[in-house]
């Protein structure tokens, strides 16, 4: 196998094309093509993380996304955020999250803490 770091956009595009072809072939893990796919995927992910970083969502956006994923209503959020008025204040960006809220959301809904402690959306 001949691998090298992806240092340019042309390296990245070539690696993407190879990954695409390997994904279509669906090689078994542990085979030469399976290993090649795994290694190229890691190289592509590293290149993308360095050259196309994604901003973290706001805490409110993350909470709303998790609610949508899990089919939760504002009423379902009361164990994590408090009474229904407080839930709506948080969801409308009028109240910041307390440390206790962050801990419950992280522990129970598995929203990453680094997202929950991020900047709030302005109301």
Give the per-residue pLDDT at 2.
75
Residue 111 lies in a domain: yes
| Pair (41, 64) in one structural domain | no
Q: How far apart are CA 62 and CA 18, in angstroms?
A: 34
Q: How many domains does the chain have?
A: 2
85 is written with which tokens?
């008025």
Q: Tell me, what's the pLDDT at 122?
A: 47
Q: Are residues 91 and 72 in the same domain?
A: yes
CB proximity list for 40: less than 8 A, separation 6 or greater: 3, 15, 18, 19, 22
78-102 in b/e form (b: 16+ CB < 10 A) is eebbbeeebbebbbeeebebeeebb
* pTM for this predicted structure: 0.60
User: What pLDDT sits at residue 7?
Assistant: 94
According to the model, what pLDDT value does residue 3 have? 84
State residue 107's pLDDT score.
97
Regarding whether 44 and 71 lie in a shared domain, the answer is no
pLDDT at 60: 96
Whether residue 63 is found in the same domain as residue 104? yes
Q: Which pLDDT score is estimated for 123?
A: 42
Low-confidence ranges of the chain (pLDDT < 50): 121-123
């Amino acid at each position: 196998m001949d691998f090298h770091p992806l240092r340019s956009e042309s390296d990245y595009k070539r690696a993407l094309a190879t990954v695409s072809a390997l994904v279509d072939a669906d090689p078994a893990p542990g085979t030469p093509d399976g290993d090649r796919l795994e290694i190229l995927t890691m190289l592509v992910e590293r290149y993308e993380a360095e050259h196309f970083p994604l901003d973290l969502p706001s805490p409110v956006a993350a909470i709303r996304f998790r609610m949508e994923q899990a089919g939760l209503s504002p009423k379902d959020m009361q164990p994590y955020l408090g009474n229904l008025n407080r839930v709506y204040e948080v969801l409308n960006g009028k109240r910041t999250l307390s440390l206790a809220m962050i801990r419950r959301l992280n522990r129970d809904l598995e929203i990453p803490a680094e997202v929950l402690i991020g900047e709030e959306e302005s109301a």
